[in-house]
Amino acid sequence: MYHEIRPAGDIPEMGCLIDVRQYYRDTLPRALFVVVDEFIRQMRWLADNEYHCLSLAGIKQLYLHGEPLPERSVLLSFDDLYQSVQDFAYPVLAELEMRASGFVVGDWVFPAARSRSHKFSRTLSWPELRNMSDVFEYANHSAALHTRDESGTALEQADRETVLNDTRRAGTGVDHPDVYAYPFGKYGEQCPEWLAESGISLAFTTCPGYNSHKTDPLKLHRYPILCDTSFDDFRIQLGDIEDDKS
């Protein structure tokens, strides 16, 4: 799981204010930025070691129809879809002929492209998302529930009707309206049940770990790749080397 991909000198120490279409202000923490050179190293290593980049359709086939996945399978996912994904991640993935999935917050996406600014973590526009469709497929990251306040996240506090209405509305414009990533990785106890009721077949958390055919498809794991994720940590998460600290 990735968020922002930026050059080393363009990662603010205290994080970055977000700029989104929805009337909502927050700060994307520094931890969620990854240096471009590290991202390139990670992707080239995956390519050199013949990892298979999964599509969401392939994951659905596993959980809905029991079809096995290829060896060395990995899902590359990007949350929120900030401008840096188009500027720095997309060219690398396109060059390496790799596929990725983007989880879109519907009410954060702008109708038209906006100017670039390193002062903000600014989301992309619908035309820009479509221009990356040779690499990216898009799924549901809520319509308007990617917010939080001192009481917690919107999804932790939402009732059934709010979750159902938001989830159905968020499906507009994405390739996989039935695939969901929990905003901030936090949700109320009944939320997976409500997502299933609204037609969601797969839902991704931010809890690290591997997924198998036994994993609850509404509580799938993802490894966050963070600013301080070393290359060895990256390989450990993929099971390539042993974790000496364990």
pLDDT tens digits, the chain, 246 residues: what are they? 999 999 999 999 999 999 999 999 999 999 999 999 999 999 999 999 999 999 999 999 999 888 888 889 999 999 999 999 999 999 999 999 999 999 999 999 999 999 998 899 999 999 999 999 999 999 999 999 999 999 999 999 999 999 999 999 998 889 999 999 999 999 999 999 999 999 999 999 999 998 988 899 999 999 999 999 999 999 999 887 666 554
- One CATH from 3.40.50.2300, 3.90.1150.10, 3.20.20.370, 3.60.21.10 for 4-233: 3.20.20.370
Q: Distance (Å, rounded) from C-alpha 157 to C-alpha 151?
A: 8
Q: Distance (Å, rounded) from C-alpha 169 to C-alpha 240?
A: 40
Question: Who's near 191: CB < 8 A, 6+ residues apart?
Answer: 155, 158, 163, 182
Q: What is the pTM of this model?
A: 0.95
Tell me which amino acid residue 150 is.
E
Question: Who's near 149: CB < 8 A, 6+ residues apart?
Answer: none
pLDDT of residue 241: 65
pLDDT of residue 246: 46
pLDDT of residue 244: 54
Q: Distance (Å, rounded) from C-alpha 41 to C-alpha 5?
A: 13
Which 8-state DSSP code applies to residue 68?
A: P
Radius of gyration for the chain, computed over Cα atoms and rounded to the nearest angstrom:
17
Distances, alpha carbon 120 to alpha carbons 41, 57, 83, 150, 189, in Å: 25, 33, 10, 22, 33
